[in-house]
Amino acid sequence: MQNSQSDLSSNFQANSSLNGDSAVIRNDWQVTEIQALYELPMNDLLFKAQTVHRQYFEPNQVQASTLMSIKTGACPEDCAYCPQSGHYNTGLSKEQLVALEEVVKSAQNAKKSGATRFCMGAAWRSPRGKDFPVVLEMIKEVKAMGLETCVTLGMLNKEQTEQLKEAGLDYYNHNLDTSAEYYSEIITTRTYQDRLDTLTQVRDAGINVCAGGILGMGETLRDRLSLIKELANLPEHPQSVPINQLIAVKGTPLEDIKAMDPFEFIRMIAVARIVMPKSYVRLSAGREGMSDEMQAMCFFAGANSIFYGEKLLTTENPDMNHDLELFARLGITPEGADKTCISELDKEQAQIDAAVQASSSSEKPLYYNAVN
């Protein structure tokens, strides 16, 4: 949830008015206006983004979510970036819906590691009849642990959306992926309008919307700006806006796409922050390929949420300890995390480090030193 103004320190409130800008919530953005922001000199753009960010959020906190794949592979959709699509041979095996106990265990571990939201993703066109009641149970169990819940299950009808709400679902993820204009180059099995309709159902049911897109799929700058415009001009800004950088997976039609320029990515984070001031902007897929310095610049540009954990559905994600170390180096704390769990984790790590240290200085080391 967003911090109230009263939670924010007077220090950064004062700073937020340095350039006289006030972050007005608008839903009538033009691509040309967003482009003008995007093309500002980098320092001006980052300053503006940071100024807006400080009006709504504690600047040194980042929210952490964990994402678990609850049903992997053989998806009937043909999203060109996705290793889980049944249309491409990426070597992924088809799996059934995972057991409830497995989800509960993963959610407990996620909470221990400092995550405040547990997201569950299923590779479906829309939820399947026999599996849907099990997913509702998963939501109830995870919610009962005190975690926020999020699912991504494909397109929803009204009844399914209401059942998700009743189960206590906090967020539903459904990305627009790219601009309306470029969309047919990426997906042909469902329309842009289908996506917008699902977002409408979710919003109308009172569930928080998590919607963003993927950059670096061969789209033009105009497409990227147009995606941001679509998101910013929804009747209500999505509460969470994941900005993904394409992971070009072998076997998908996008496997040979050249990686995008990191500064272009950081600029898009900054414009997303400026045009959707109250939304959590999440660094999502692609973080594994980003340097620490690039991630730090993304946080400065207004990203204030990450996916945390070794896997992002089926692709790699930075190691959790590395994320905690990066946070510590940047003076960032995980928003709302259970501090006792994190300090327990720190203690465990300190014990392991001490044991390795003691062992390597003894005659018969217990551990192989893989670092030196």
Instruction: State which H helix or E strand residue 120 sits in.
Output: strand 117-122
- From 54, 82, 117, 195, the catalytic residue: 82
For residue 77, the minimal CB distance to ligand SF4 (Å) is: 4
Q: Is 298 a catalytic residue?
A: no
Report d(CA 31, CA 12) in Å as an integer.
Answer: 30
Which is catalytic among the residues 54, 117, 119, 287?
Answer: 119
Active site residue 79: yes
Is 150 tagged catalytic? yes
Structure tokens that stand for 301 in this block: 């540009």
Q: Which is nearer to ligand SF4, 253 or 309 (CB)?
A: 253
Question: Rounded to the nearest whole angstrom, what is the least distance from the CB of residue 102 to ligand SF4 in the complex?
Answer: 19
Nearer to ligand SF4, 86 or 336 (CB): 86
Q: Is 75 a catalytic residue?
A: yes
What 8-state DSSP symbol labels residue 97?
Answer: P
Residue with tokens 């700006």: 225
Instruction: Give dist(CA 99, CA 81) in Å, integer.
Output: 27
Pick the catalytic residue from 54, 117, 150, 224.
150
Asked if 316 contacts 83 with a C-beta cutoff of 8 angstroms, the reply is no
Nearest approach in angstroms of CB 80 to ligand SF4 is 9
3-state helix, strand, coil in the chain (%, to 5): 40, 15, 45
Tokens, residue 297: 């610049």
Taking the complex as a whole, the smallest distance from the CB of residue 267 to ligand SF4 amounts, in Å, to: 25
Comparing CB distances to ligand SF4, the nearer of 16 and 252 is: 252
- Residues forming the site for ligand SF4 (CB under 6 A): 75, 77, 79, 82, 84-85, 123, 154
Cβ atoms 144, 111 nearer than 8 A: no
The one catalytic residue among 210, 224, 267, 287: 210
**For this structure, is 210 an active site residue?**
yes
Q: Three-class SS of residue 222?
A: helix
Q: Which residues are catalytic?
A: 75, 79, 82, 119, 150, 210, 282
